[in-house]
Amino acid sequence: MTSKNASKDLTSSQPVQPTSRVRSRVTLAQIELMQQVARMHNITAAGREIGISGSLAARQIAALERALGVRLFQRTTRSIRLTEAGERVLEWASQTLEGFTALEDSMTTMTQTPRGMIRLAVNYYAAGTYLPRVLSEFCATYPEIKLSVITTDELIDLVTDTIDVAVHSGRIPDSSMVGIRVRSVHRVLCASPEYLRRKGTPKNLSDLNAHDCLVHSSNEPTNWFFRHGDNTVGITVRSRLEANNHNVLVEFARYGLGIARLGRNTVREDLKSGRLIQLLPDYACVYPSGELPNVWILYPNRKLLYRTRVLVDFLSEKLSALTEYPPGE
């Protein structure tokens, strides 16, 4: 195939269909690498993601461009983006990889031995506390499944970020996702003894207006809601410090910087030791709807690969069994 003919094929209205000569020179590894580069906009980072060096990744992309006879990426000193031809090839590449993954999964199901890579997104608290124990058991049970774990407190776009499964704590997820609710999360208002000596102890919700509050920057940063009996009440809080990580908010509270709303399990030992003091225990920390936050297992759609379905079922069973400590403990 000459460069001229290749360009003609790529600008037609039909999907890209490489000739037999090109097929013999294009590998699945190159196609996967191209998809990663298009997603990450960085050849070195994409190579690292699939386990090769940046220089080898650059050579593989160049080899793929030679095989197809077109330039796939427009490169500058600061960015890399798909060319028009690259966009057409990426569409074909994505379909090719999806087909191969489906075939691989079908073969795996026949042998009853799940294998392959799963990209798992988890929040910081889960990653630093209970999840390592759960995943250790999973990896021992399914040694041929490899996990790539991404930590974030944000509810990310599973499709755009090519995430297979997410463990998320917070609001009910977007309706476009498939979610399994594992359990509810009970939060408490708390502050350090040092802060309360300095600022006083709030006796009711209105007293919070005069206090420094430690807020999650993407989760109710200005208004907090509480349920008392059948009533839900919202108040505007004065943010002293904000962070996008609940573990950071715990440290802020421990060092006397203000009042925080934190998961009861997260601060259980702090409350037990007196390092933090629970405030206004008769008020449940809720969302504007009056609902408690929940722990969710999320995935992009109901058509799961065998290995992903194995992980979802395992997480659902193990996380549902985790203890939620009662208020009195």
Choosing among 1.10.10.10, 2.40.30.40, 3.30.310.50, 3.40.50.10490, the CATH entry for 3-97 is 1.10.10.10
pLDDT of residue 231: 93
Region 206-223: what's the mean pLDDT? 89
Which CATH fold topology does 187-286 show? D-Maltodextrin-Binding Protein; domain 2 (3.40.190)
- What are the φ and ψ backbone dihedral angles of 31, each rounded to 5 degrees? -65, -45
In this prediction, residue 293 has a pLDDT band, given cuts at 50, 70 and 90, of: confident
pLDDT of residue 143: 95
Burial 88-112 (b: 16+ CB within 10 A, else e): bbbebbeebeeeeeeeebeebeeee
Return the percentage of the chain with pLDDT > 90, whole number.
Answer: 40
Region 116-121: what's the mean pLDDT? 92
Q: Could you tell me where in the chain the CATH 3.40.190.290 domains are found?
A: 187-286
pLDDT of residue 196: 97
The rounded distance, in Å, linking the Cα atoms of 69 and 309 is: 39
pLDDT of residue 100: 75
What is the average pLDDT score of the chain? 84
Q: Could you tell me where in the chain the CATH 1.10.10.10 domains are found?
A: 3-97
Better pLDDT: 24 or 322: 322
Q: Is the pLDDT of residue 154 over 80?
A: no
Is 3.40.50.1820 the CATH classification of the domain at 113-185+293-320? no
pLDDT of residue 36: 87
